[in-house]
């Protein structure tokens, strides 16, 4: 298969074809994490020195107002990113037969894939997925009563030779940043900093290498169709090409996130939306493609363990603000999502609003 303008890519509904995004100064907030380089995160926001409490306020405003922000001075060594970017380029340039040696299938959602769908429309993308835990443990089936578990193993390509090491080193670096962000977000919700950490032992976190080849009809297709990330938190590295559009909460306009060198783009995922009882929202975004340049990006999806029951945190619900969701098992949710974008389905994908309480 190749990237021919085959009809499955084409957004049938002209309403949803990519209208140009606005590129202006009103884009997502930029947060400087340098206070974290000097000071460890205290367990309560009251114990934080002024530089840190200022940071917590900025993160709170960004999560509430946008659901998205960029961070600089994040402490992840640039060499780690450059090494994994080079590995990704070296892999995606290989002939299709070579990449398909590590193709994902119905049994194993890890490895290479070139027929991704988002909400049942095909994306102009090829991807490579790997988990942080090896193996990662997920439910064996999507059936609610079935308690059997399945181990999923990474599939590593033989080329480029440095690929596996580069991916693993990068994952270690990003996980540290993920915990810092999680702790900051806990503080913004007036919770002890480490309150959420326990959910991430035996995590189902994974990293995706994305490649969007140049597209002959960028006005008819999208790199990734509009979606919300079904994760706790996403930490995204994008290259210098640009193409990520975020739906601005204030007015629903698509806003392009212009690349900022050495920054990461952070977004609150569906799980934080539920934990926070809708204080924070998981925001819709998409990727536009262009006819000249291929684009690479690397999201890190920070996810809890499969047995986590996700529901609004007790500290954040009250008589006046009752739980807006009933609990669901993360493993089953993940399995349903990961296995359903495997191919075009006639039914809608699972979404958190399916667990919303009627009030
Ligand atoms: O490539 C990007 O900029 C965004 C990727 C993304 O939204 C995803 O992989 O979920
Ligand atoms: Fe996404």
Q: 50-96: per-residue pLDDT in tens?
A: 889 999 999 999 999 999 999 999 999 999 999 999 999 999 999 99
Q: Report how far ligand 2's centroid is from the alpha carbon of 244 (Å).
A: 9
For atom 9 of ligand 1, the residue with the nearest CA is 299
pLDDT at residue 23 in the model: 66
Looking at per-residue confidence, does 287 or 48 come out higher? 287
Among residues 343, 166, 181, the alpha carbon closest in space to that of 268 is found at 181
Q: Which of 92, 208, 236, 247 to mutate to test the pocket of ligand 1 (most atoms within 8 A of CB)?
A: 236
Checking if the pLDDT of 179 tops 60, the result is: yes
Cβ(299) – ligand 1 distance below 6 Å? yes
ipTM: 0.99
pLDDT at residue 48 in the model: 85
For atom 1 of ligand 1, the residue with the nearest CA is 297
Mean residue pLDDT of the chain comes to 91
Instruction: Pick the range with the lowest mean pLDDT from 27-36, 235-244, 306-315, 339-348.
Output: 339-348
Cβ(229) – ligand 1 distance below 6 Å? yes
Prediction pTM value: 0.94
Residue 35 confidence class, pLDDT cut points 50, 70, 90: very high
Region 212-228 average pLDDT: 91
Residue 210 CA: nearest ligand 1 atom is: 1
Region 128-148 average pLDDT: 94
For atom 10 of ligand 1, the residue with the nearest CA is 229
Checking if the pLDDT of 251 tops 80, the result is: yes
Instruction: Pick the range with the lowest mean pLDDT from 53-62, 217-226, 313-322.
Output: 217-226
Query: Are 216 and 2 a contacting pair, CB within 8 Å?
Result: no
Cβ(289) – ligand 1 distance below 6 Å? no
Query: Are 337 and 328 a contacting pair, CB within 8 Å?
Result: no
Query: Are 127 and 112 a contacting pair, CB within 8 Å?
Result: yes
Residue 208 CA: nearest ligand 1 atom is: 9
Among residues 127, 136, 182, the alpha carbon closest in space to that of 298 is found at 127
pLDDT at residue 15 in the model: 66
b/e for 241-263, b at 16 or more Cβ within 10 A? bbbbbbbbeeeeebbbbebbeeb
pLDDT at residue 14 in the model: 67
Checking if the pLDDT of 343 tops 70, the result is: no
Ligand nearest to the CA of 243: 1
Cβ(85) – ligand 1 distance below 6 Å? no
Backbone angles phi, psi at 22, to 5 degrees: -80, 135
Residue 314 confidence class, pLDDT cut points 50, 70, 90: very high
Distance (Å, whole) CA 113 – CA 116? 7
How many Cβ atoms are within 10 Å of 354's Cβ, its own excluded? 11
pLDDT at residue 58 in the model: 98
Cβ(111) – ligand 1 distance below 6 Å? no
- DSSP characters for 119-172? TTEE-S-EEEEEESSSSEEEES-S-TT---EEEE-----SSSTTHHHHHHHHHH
Provide the percentage of residues in the chain whose pLDDT is more than 90.
Answer: 76
């Amino acid at each position: 298969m190749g990237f021919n303008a085959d009809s499955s890519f084409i957004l049938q509904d002209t309403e949803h074809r990519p209208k140009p995004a606005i590129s202006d100064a009103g884009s997502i907030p930029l947060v400087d994490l340098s206070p974290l380089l000097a000071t460890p995160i205290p367990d309560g926001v009251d114990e934080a020195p002024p530089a840190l409490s200022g940071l917590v306020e900025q993160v709170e405003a960004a999560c509430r107002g946008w659901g998205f922000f960029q961070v600089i001075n994040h402490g992840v060594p640039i060499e780690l990113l450059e090494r994994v970017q080079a590995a990704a380029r070296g892999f995606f340039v290989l002939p299709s037969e070579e990449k398909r040696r590590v193709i994902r299938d119905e049994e194993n959602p890890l490895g290479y894939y070139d027929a991704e769908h988002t909400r049942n429309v095909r994306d102009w993308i090829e991807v490579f997925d790997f988990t942080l835990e090896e193996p990662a443990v997920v439910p064996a089936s999507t059936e609610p009563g079935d308690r059997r578990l399945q181990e999923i193993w990474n599939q590593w390509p033989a080329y480029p030779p440095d690929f596996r090491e580069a991916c693993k080193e990068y994952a270690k670096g990003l996980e540290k940043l993920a915990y810092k962000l999680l702790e900051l977000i806990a503080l913004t919700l007036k919770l002890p900093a480490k309150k959420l950490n326990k959910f991430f032992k035996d995590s189902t976190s994974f990293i995706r290498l994305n490649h969007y080849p140049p597209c002959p009809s960028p006005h008819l297709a999208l790199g990734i169709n509009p979606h919300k990330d079904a994760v706790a938190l996403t930490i995204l590295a994008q290259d210098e090409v640009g193409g990520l559009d975020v739906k601005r909460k204030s007015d629903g306009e698509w806003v392009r996130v212009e690349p900022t060198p050495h920054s990461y783009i952070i977004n609150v995922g569906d799980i934080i939306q539920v934990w926070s009882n809708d204080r924070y929202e998981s925001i819709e975004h998409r990727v536009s493609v262009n006819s000249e340049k291929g684009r690479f990006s690397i999201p890190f999806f920070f996810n809890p363990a499969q047995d986590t029951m996700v529901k609004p945190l007790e500290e954040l619900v009250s008589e006046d603000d009752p739980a807006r969701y009933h609990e669901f098992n993360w493993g089953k949710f993940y399995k349903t999502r990961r296995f359903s974008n495997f191919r075009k389905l006639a039914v809608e994908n699972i979404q958190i609003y399916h667990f919303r309480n009627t009030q």
